[in-house]
Amino acid sequence: MLILGIESSCDETAASVSENGTTILSSVISTQIEEHKKYGGVVPEIASRRHSENILGVVKEALEKSGKTLDDMDAIAVTYAPGLIGALLVGVNFAKGLAMATGKPLIPVHHIAGHIASNYIAHPELEPPYLCLVASGGHSHIIEVLSHTEFRVVGKTRDDAAGECFDKCARALGFPYPGGVHIDRASASGNPETYPLPVPRVAGSEYDFSFSGLKTAVINMVHNASQKGTDIIAEDMAASVQKTISEILVSRTIAAAKDLGYRKIVLAGGVSANSGVRSTLSAACEKNKFELFMPPLSLCGDNGAMIACQGYFNYKAGITADVSLNAVATMPIDKL
């Protein structure tokens, strides 16, 4: 089954053709990072405009590179939630237009389910049920993946997402947007013990996260140092931030896995590219004899292949939409 997957929830316009979900025939990603960098973060209005300009070219290129035509597609999958509403609408309307014009099925895909599905591409042997840690720029969740299309959130952030925390700490240290990858690089030569950082807990919910206190602590330390005329060693602070975020994400995931009886752990989302998160989770899984699946770096960030892949599983489960499909900015993955 050939599926065209379309993604436009944030600052990447992406399209991909996949066969039976897990074989990628093409994957094209047009990123807007350079433009948003000037403003230190994603400007929603600019994101929508760029998606509108880019989507036709990106989809055409994905079809060309796959060696297939639109006619060959069996269905069209699109991210419809969650994300920036104006950005999502571009992909949703484009996909609806294609589905209407061709009479092909339209498949709605939840963005987080797409991130999780990137692991099926990389690890075709992976089967639910398992416990998944999803950490991205907008989300930090611990999710029970009961089947390819059924999810139960057991933990989530109460404030900032892990990626947002990486990005805001990076900004305080003078790194450009998106700063997560710069924290990752700088950490390699930093000492994580130089600047101890708080590990915020969420009262009454041991699997939930809170990252805003950590972000504020870093911003205050940088601010206080500059007021005193001293310097923060960026590499050391980056290493502290990375170690602290990694330990928070991993400790709660492992606790949830033990309590809920999962021995299979999966990582997903943009932050799964972080070397500290990967190594901390690998070590914890090895210690507890848990099986671990992580996406390759090429599938960690937003892409169309993960949407095409989840689209395949949605289609097999009978999840399709008609042209009344709308984009939704906020939608929990377990309330689909």
**Residue of 276, 173, 167 lying closest to 221 (CA atoms):** 173
201 burial (CB, 10 Å; 0-12 / 13-18 / 19+) is: middle
Contact string (CB under 6 A) for ligand KG4, positions 134-163, x = contact: --xxx------------------------x
Among 60-68, 99-107, 123-131, 301-309, the segment contacting Zn ion (CB under 5 A): 301-309
280 burial (CB, 10 Å; 0-12 / 13-18 / 19+) is: buried
Q: Should residue 5 be labelled a site residue for ligand KG4 when binding is judged by CB under 6 A?
A: no
Q: In what order do the strands lie in the sheet with 23-31?
A: 23-31, 12-19, 2-7, 75-81, 106-110
Q: Should residue 181 be labelled a site residue for ligand KG4 when binding is judged by CB under 6 A?
A: yes
Q: Should residue 236 be labelled a site residue for Zn ion when binding is judged by CB under 5 A?
A: no
Q: What token pair was written down for 207? A: 């699997």
Are 168 and 160 in contact, with CB atoms under 8 Å apart? yes
Query: Which residue lies nearest ligand KG4, judged by its C-beta?
Result: 270
Task: Kindly tell me which of 173 and 273 has the beta carbon lying closer to Zn ion.
Answer: 273
Candidate residues 58, 302, 309, 314; the one interacting with ligand KG4 per rule CB under 6 A: 302
Residue 289 sits at φ, ψ, to 5 deg, of 60, 40
Q: Should residue 271 be labelled a site residue for ligand KG4 when binding is judged by CB under 6 A?
A: yes
Task: Kindly tell me which of 41 and 105 has the beta carbon lying closer to ligand KG4.
Answer: 41
Candidate residues 7, 167, 208, 236; the one interacting with ligand KG4 per rule CB under 6 A: 167
Contact string (CB under 5 A) for Zn ion, positions 98-137, x = contact: --------------------------------------x-
At closest approach, how far in Å is the CB of 73 from Zn ion? 23
Task: Kindly tell me which of 2 and 78 has the beta carbon lying closer to ligand KG4.
Answer: 78
Residues 58-87 that bind ligand KG4 (CB under 6 A): none
**Residue of 27, 20, 80 lying closest to 313 (CA atoms):** 20
How many residues touch ligand KG4 under the rule CB under 6 A: the total is 19
Among 88-96, 161-169, 260-268, 302-310, the segment contacting Zn ion (CB under 5 A): 302-310
Q: Should residue 10 be labelled a site residue for ligand KG4 when binding is judged by CB under 6 A?
A: yes
Among 130-138, 188-196, 209-217, 321-329, the segment contacting ligand KG4 (CB under 6 A): 130-138
Distance, first Cα to last Cα, the chain: 24
At closest approach, how far in Å is the CB of 186 from ligand KG4? 11
At closest approach, how far in Å is the CB of 88 from ligand KG4? 12
How many residues touch Zn ion under the rule CB under 5 A: the total is 2
At closest approach, how far in Å is the CB of 268 from Zn ion? 9
Work out what residue 190 binds among ligand KG4, Zn ion, none; the CB cut-off runs from 5 to 8 Å by kind: none
Work out what residue 311 binds among Zn ion, ligand KG4, none; the CB cut-off runs from 5 to 8 Å by kind: none
Note the residues at the interface with ligand KG4 (CB under 6 A).
10, 136-138, 163, 166-167, 178, 180-181, 183-184, 269-271, 273-274, 301-302
Note the residues at the interface with Zn ion (CB under 5 A).
136, 302
